[in-house]
């Protein structure tokens, strides 16, 4: 097995970066759906969130009318955050969000609630 040189790796990363979309992305909360059996509004976290909490959320991309190059897909979850146990939460994110951006968004969910508890 032959590893690429540092120069080849750097050149490939530049090509990948130039192919990435440079438009903006507007995020919004995914709308919950009414669950007939439970008689409540629910979001599907696919088993990743196990405790009901007001802090649980999912963000999806929406088309930004002021930016014609923006892309919206209101079914693909880009960030989900939810409670799994007492004081234990899980965060799942995907592109175009970085780990730092996703974590900052999730931390802002605690903004005014930390001092109250």
For tokens 């669950």, the residue is 35
pTM, two decimal places: 0.67
Per CATH, the number for 23-108 is: 3.20.90.10
Is 51 or 113 the better-scoring residue by pLDDT?
A: 51
* pLDDT number for residue 1: 41
Q: In percent, how much of the chain has pLDDT > 70?
A: 65
Count CB atoms within 10 A of the CB of residue 14. Answer: 10
Domain boundaries along the sequence of the chain: 23-108
Is 99 or 62 the better-scoring residue by pLDDT?
A: 99
pLDDT at 34 over 70: yes
Q: What is d(CA 94, CA 101) in angstroms, rounded to the nearest whole number?
A: 11
């Amino acid at each position: 097995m032959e590893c690429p040189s540092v120069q080849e790796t750097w050149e490939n990363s530049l090509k990948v970066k130039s192919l990435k979309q440079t438009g903006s992305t507007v995020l919004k909360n995914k709308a919950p759906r009414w669950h007939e059996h439970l008689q409540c509004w629910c979001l599907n976290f696919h088993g990743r969130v196990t405790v009901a909490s007001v802090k649980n959320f999912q963000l999806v991309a929406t088309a930004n009318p002021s930016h014609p190059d923006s892309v919206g897909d209101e079914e693909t979850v880009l960030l989900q955050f939810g409670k799994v146990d007492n004081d234990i939460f899980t965060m799942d994110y995907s592109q175009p969000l970085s780990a730092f951006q996703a974590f900052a968004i999730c931390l802002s969910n605690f903004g005014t609630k930390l001092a109250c508890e």
